Structure 1
Amino acid sequence: MSGHSKWATTKHKKAAIDAKRGKLFAKLIKNIEVAARSGGGDPAGNPTLFDAIQKAKKSSVPNDNIDRAVKRGSGAEAGGADYLALTYEGYAPGGVALLIECLTDNKNRAVAEVRTALSKNGGSMGESGSVAFMFNRKGVVIVPKKQPGDDATEDSLLEVVLDSGAEEVNDLGESFEIVSEATDLVAVRESLQAAGVDYDSADSSFLPTVEVPLDKEGAKKMFRIIEALEDSDDVQNVYANGDVPDEVLAELEAED
């Protein structure tokens, strides 16, 4: 789903400088708290926490906020919430499948906000299992093409990560997306670090196995419903199987 991947990467960069910055920070901090609670507060022994911290730093979250989140999550400091991880399934207009991951301290509020965001934007909730089979859990590392030394190329990255379990390298325009099995994510990330390659994020994500081709109007509707969902403080990630052609994506970006 190159179109959605490119859009998501661009949107993430914009979020760091626009009015949604505070909301992005809150979601990244929540990821750190949950990772520290489940695997301990030492990033060296907790790869999930390490990646959550790196992602927060790349998005300019202040170090003090990161440190306090680690302490709250690990129990070294009071005030941490007991977040519940939930996954909802739904549809955007045009039959686009949606997987919605939440971290919340109030299940009733989370499901109500997800249902409202879907229904107000032409979507609907799905039964459990109705769309999950259309996605596979994968490891995804985003690497900017601009590097401190030589710029990254598809061949140079493949040379670094192929033996670590990487399955493919996709060109997203200003960056590359390295896809692996979720269990190989840490090995791929460590290979990049050992080679001195800078990366923006390393996440366990859901990638679609079946895609729905979208025209401009269909893409607009999908992005609108994703943004409405992500506007909820309880929603951490939204995955969609809409396939947006490069030329349509370029038109939409020009309109922003």
Structure 2
Amino acid sequence: MSGHSKWSTIKRKKGAEDAKRGKIFTRLARDITIAAREGGGDENANPRLKLAIAKAKAANMPKDNIERAINRGTGKLIDGEALEEFTLEGYGLEGVAFLIDVLTDNKNRTLSEVKRIFNKAGGSLASAGSVAWQFEQKGAIVLAGENLDFDEVFMVAAEAGADDVTNDDGTITVFTPREQFAAVEAALTAAGYTVEESELRWIAKNETEVPIEMAVANMKLMNDIEELDDVQGVASNLAISDDVIAAFETA
């Protein structure tokens, strides 16, 4: 399994604990608000909003919170903060590339916080465009359930336009071009599969292998950045082996 998939598996485990504490509700609400602001409040006509709502429901976010976030985005509720979204680029240790998706009400504060974390770890923020070319954005659809027939999933996904399907210890993830994301998810749902998680991810075109201790340090850096409330997601081109995961989890 590639590094981005391994990191996503770690994040899902961590996200379940964060959800119990309500820690991610602020992020989810902001994502819903800006999706509704840009594409309207009808999730059936707004793929980004539909995705944001699905992620919120997966985290057991209360229905009232979801509706309030939608209304804030459409202007029905006038108590919203002015939100801005952008992507930061940076380098970790040993030249590992980072992309950080941000949604914030204070750009200067967020820049300062991210820069501080990079500097503390021995990395640095990078100029726009210096890192992004090393990534491409793809849809990632994680299917719920055990003992799914991989070949059957592959056939349904491929016919709908998916470009890769992976199986990590029984967890099947379907990857799609950004343009085919909604169509592939709809095809999988129509075929009777339950979607556990679906999101757009930055996927590295090539991964960078570094010594285990440097890989662990980069994973800690990723984790520290993701802890920031304004950060929606972090991607890197770090190659993550099972040995690296074991070292990270015991560090």
TM exceeding 0.5 = yes
Contact 2:89 2:99 in 1 (8 A): yes
Contact 2:143 2:196 in 1 (8 A): yes
Contact 1:115 1:124 in 2 (8 A): yes
Distance 1:220 1:25, change over 3 A: same
Deviations 1:14-49 (A, max 9, x none): 332248843322111111111111111111111111
Per the alignment, residue 165 of structure 2 pairs with 169
2:158 aligned partner, one-letter code:
L
Contact 1:139 1:181 in 2 (8 A): yes
Deviation of 1:232 after TM superposition, in Å, equals 1.5
Q: Distance in 2 between matches of 1:239 and 1:190?
A: 26
Deviation of 1:173 after TM superposition, in Å, equals 2.7
Distance 1:7 1:145, change over 3 A: farther
Per the alignment, residue 212 of structure 1 pairs with 208
Per the alignment, residue 125 of structure 2 pairs with 125
In structure 2, stretches of 5+ residues that fail to align are none
The structure 2 residue matched to 1:224, chosen from 214, 220, 223, is 220
Q: Distance in 2 between matches of 1:210 and 1:166?
A: 20
**1:180 aligns to 2:176 (yes or no):** yes
Per the alignment, residue 76 of structure 1 pairs with 76
2:29 aligned partner, one-letter code:
I
Q: Which sits farther off after the overlay, 215-224 or 185-194?
A: 215-224
Q: Which sits farther off after the overlay, 171-180 or 120-129?
A: 171-180
Distance 1:128 1:201, change over 3 A: same
Quote the RMSD (CA, aligned, Å).
1.9
Q: Distance in 1 between matches of 2:87 and 2:66?
A: 25
Deviations 1:40-71 (A, max 9, x none): 11111111111111111111112221111111
Contact 1:115 1:125 in 2 (8 A): yes
Q: Distance in 2 between matches of 1:225 and 1:252?
A: 11
The structure 1 residue matched to 2:230, chosen from 229, 234, 238, is 234
Q: Distance in 2 between matches of 1:230 and 1:107?
A: 16
Deviation of 1:227 after TM superposition, in Å, equals 1.4
Q: Distance in 2 between matches of 1:215 and 1:194?
A: 44
Q: Distance in 2 between matches of 1:203 and 1:8?
A: 11
1:93 aligned partner, one-letter code:
L
After TM superposition, list the pairs within 5 Å mapping 1:103-122 onto structure 2: 103-122=103-122
Deviations 1:214-255 (A, max 9, x none): 3431221111111111121111111100011123324434x2
Q: Distance in 1 between matches of 2:201 and 2:170?
A: 20
Q: Distance in 2 between matches of 1:95 and 1:13?
A: 27
TM-score by length of 2: 0.93
After TM superposition, list the pairs within 5 Å mapping 1:42-57 onto structure 2: 42-57=42-57
Q: How many matched pairs?
A: 251
Deviations 1:58-97 (A, max 9, x none): 1111222111111111112222222111111101111110
Distance 1:236 1:18, change over 3 A: closer
Deviation of 1:209 after TM superposition, in Å, equals 0.5
Distance 1:18 1:105, change over 3 A: closer
In structure 1, stretches of 5+ residues that fail to align are none
Per the alignment, residue 150 of structure 2 pairs with 154
**1:137 aligns to 2:117 (yes or no):** no
Q: Distance in 2 between matches of 1:203 and 1:175?
A: 16
1:30 aligned partner, one-letter code:
R
Sequence identity of aligned pairs in percent? 40
Contact 1:16 1:24 in 2 (8 A): no
Deviations 1:156-180 (A, max 9, x none): 2112111111001012334222111
